[in-house]
A and B are shown apart, each in its own frame.
Chain A
């Protein structure tokens, strides 16, 4: 296994760059990172929209969530591969298509987590904030969302880790990330499939573990601040 890593390490890490687009683990991290940074704000808006007293807003958000939760990610990726060029009229790089699909898919799940966090807060918090004259937006920004998102951190991290692993599916439309790189290595090596895929698993594990540890540290800091021990 070590000699596979030694021989193909660079391919795993950055694909065929600089002789081609950036690929491998770097691409996985970029795709997952962008996917999360874009889907999370959308999810917060969707979560709030799901709780809106304005019916059309609520229905639109619910439709989005139900649609994207009801279909497997691989289907959404295939579908995006054909629909996005039709919508934009130009050819779209596979990476961008994959990113759109992941953002849409994850935003649906994250929206429900955000909604659960908001609904899980005691009603007295919103009442106290509104009673002191804070507007709806100010209440959400300063009182509700800070608490809701902190409470839901374990669930959010769950979904983030799931996103990192979900990027492994995008190889089906030819995006050059670490699963694609592993398949390329495997097609060269042929007889060391187990070792190759163990190395692949190792990359995903490293990323997910690092994220989990980061989140744990953040949770601890937030809990200590609440108790006045920070």
Chain B
């Protein structure tokens, strides 16, 4: 299988040349030619205005998939310290609508210890069934046991879809599970759907730092596995009257619990680590703040709004604020309801980490700064004058002045 140019159809417009991130297209005799640098990313297919670039179908005989023998949608119910992570409610929301579309059952899989009440609550959150594996060795997260237990459950239960949060935990051990059960895995999805024709799961995710979106399928393997980005999909509303079944599994074979790795200590750094991924409001500062003191203004606004403080890489590299605050391609990806960018130019790497926010406010004295391209509200001017005025207006609106 490869990407090829239909020579007769190519009009030599060169639109594909610019679309290729790998420099893999050349013009030969007036038509496009794809060289060996091609990684089959398919960017050119979309760029071609005359549909002269196609993906050649495979000539290799591939085994048929017995779709009928897999059914049900599973959600991995991540927990930390006995508390279900909030991303699980979103996964159950997404899983619920997929299961309703295909008419299948939605199950939540919980690995933990002494969590029966929390297990039952997953029914209220949208699950038809909860598979709860209770074992002391599963109380805290450890890649090995988690991967073994979940892959065993998958091999036995043969679900059609398995979803997990794109959290540190999910992105750590779910690739291992997918590898073990020999199936594909799509990372960090922001939209999920069922293809009405094939019934396959359409998994949409950003790539190239959010510059392009790709819809991924897993047509010949089951289950179809995806990690899902936090705070993107709506949670299932809590309904205490929902009925469902809780299956508790105890006394698992101890050899499945052998992690080889051992977690010796868990250190929470709540005080100096901002959980940007959880915040509904983020106020971020960039080089325009001029120095570490500039962050005082930003912090004041964040505090007033009950939000977290973010930063651009320039601000972090200048040593004005720790790396844990960095938003962007090499920092954190966030998707709050409100993102206020102060003195940030809006380089693509920064945009990659925040452009999916619901509402973006940009404050910048350069009217041509690219941040304004993605802003819902653009305020052109000096942030040192504007932010104090915003603080005043918010206080006035709340009757605090």
The answer to whether A and B belong to the same complex is no
Spell out A's residues near B (CB within 8 Å).
none
Interface residues of B (CB under 8 A from A): none
